[in-house]
Amino acid sequence: SRMLSRYESEFLELSCIGVGEFGSVYRCVKRLDGCMYAIKRSRRPIAGSANEQLALKEVYAHAVLGHHPHVVRYYSAWAEDDHMIIQNEYCDGGSLHDAITEKGEQGEYFRVPELRDLLLQVSMGLKYIHSSGLVHLDIKPSNIFICHRPSSSAGGEGESEEEDEGPSSGVVYKIGDLGHVTSISSPQVEEGDSRFLAYEVLREDYTHLAKADIFALGLTVLLAAGAPPLPQNGDNWHSLRQGELPSLPQELPAPFRDLLKTMLDPDPTTRPSASVLCRHDVLRKERAG
Ligand SMILES: Cn1cc(CCO)c2c3c(c(-c4ccccc4Cl)cc21)C(=O)NC3=O
């Protein structure tokens, strides 16, 4: 009989949770430890192709980025029968894109306390990525995953010292999909989703790449706040990059609105760093702004 692949021998495939040009993602149980994992299987890229570079960047990034409560955890990666396989932490709450869509269908959207929680948690993840000398370059709702309980796969990570009493609502946001990650110092930029792309990156100015992640996070939070779907190009694409905030179905407190405005500033040096965001009084737990 055909030798079982490592994927088939080590894992029980429960369901397909995502399909894209990248490949497919499955919710799996590892037979040995009984824990749930998210496993992406993609066609092995042609040796020496750009896709091979992307696949390798993803694994290198996970290897460099140890463990952080707000970055999806990596467990293993291997190649077999013409496929690349990566085994990550399974987040049981779907993606932020799913959550925004579900609320939108009920005419609902994230309220200020939830928006501050989201922005603070993802800022902590970005601070960790940026402090490791890397940039994500594809921050957007479909790449932010939700865990409803302490990490639903192998034992959850102890929260880093930054997290005081941990998240209020029990929702934990984690940055995932490191396929576009590159080094801040010697960047080989593979542009992410154009809807979230900062103008300076389109112009191939890579001198402030970490601030491109901040720009994308600003648009991500606005979508959670109920902003209409983002343009991929055209006049509206440009007006969002000239300091114009999109219309929202809710009035945000001025300090919070101003913070989002600075995150979208056309000048990347004006945008706050992830580190500044983590200690920004608008985002701290006590009622600040
Ligand atoms: C489509 N999709 C749905 C989910 C589950 C959300 O409740 C998901 C996950 C991941 C990924 C993923 C993204 C990029 C690379 C590798 C993986 Cl496993 C994709 C996922 C991942 O790394 N962890 C996930 O939970």
Distance CA 274, CA 111 (A): 22
pLDDT digit string (tens) for 11-28? 999 999 999 888 999 999
pLDDT digit string (tens) for 87-121? 999 999 999 999 999 999 999 999 999 999 999 99
> Hey, which residues are catalytic here?
138
Residue nearest to atom 3 of ligand 1 (CA): 17
User: Which ranges of the chain have pLDDT less than 50?
Assistant: 156, 158-162, 164-165
Contact residues for 35 (Cβ-Cβ < 8 A; gap 6+): 29, 153, 154
Q: How far is CA 200 from CA 17, 90, 205, 213, in A?
A: 34, 34, 5, 12
The token pair that represents 11 in the structure block: 């894992």
Residue nearest to atom 13 of ligand 1 (CA): 177
Q: How far is CA 33 from CA 45, 161, 167, 212, in A?
A: 30, 28, 27, 39
The yes/no answer to whether this complex scores an ipTM above 0.90 is yes
User: What is residue 287's predicted lDDT score, i.e. its pLDDT?
Assistant: 60
CA-90 nearest atom, ligand 1: 25
Distance CA 29, CA 79 (A): 19
Cβ–ligand 1 contact at 89 (below 6 Å): yes
User: What is residue 168's predicted lDDT score, i.e. its pLDDT?
Assistant: 53
Strand duo 144-147 + 172-175: pairing:
antiparallel
Residue nearest to atom 8 of ligand 1 (CA): 38
Ligand 1 test: best mutation among 24, 27, 72, most atoms within 8 Å of CB? 72
Residue nearest to atom 6 of ligand 1 (CA): 94
User: What is residue 142's predicted lDDT score, i.e. its pLDDT?
Assistant: 98
User: What is residue 249's predicted lDDT score, i.e. its pLDDT?
Assistant: 97
Distance CA 73, CA 66 (A): 8
User: What is residue 289's predicted lDDT score, i.e. its pLDDT?
Assistant: 55
The owner of tokens 């920004």 is: 280
End-to-end C-alpha distance for the chain, whole angstroms: 65
For residue 113, how far is its CA from the centre of ligand 1 (angstroms)? 26
For residue 90, how far is its CA from the centre of ligand 1 (angstroms)? 7
| Chain Cα centroid distance, residue 242 | 24
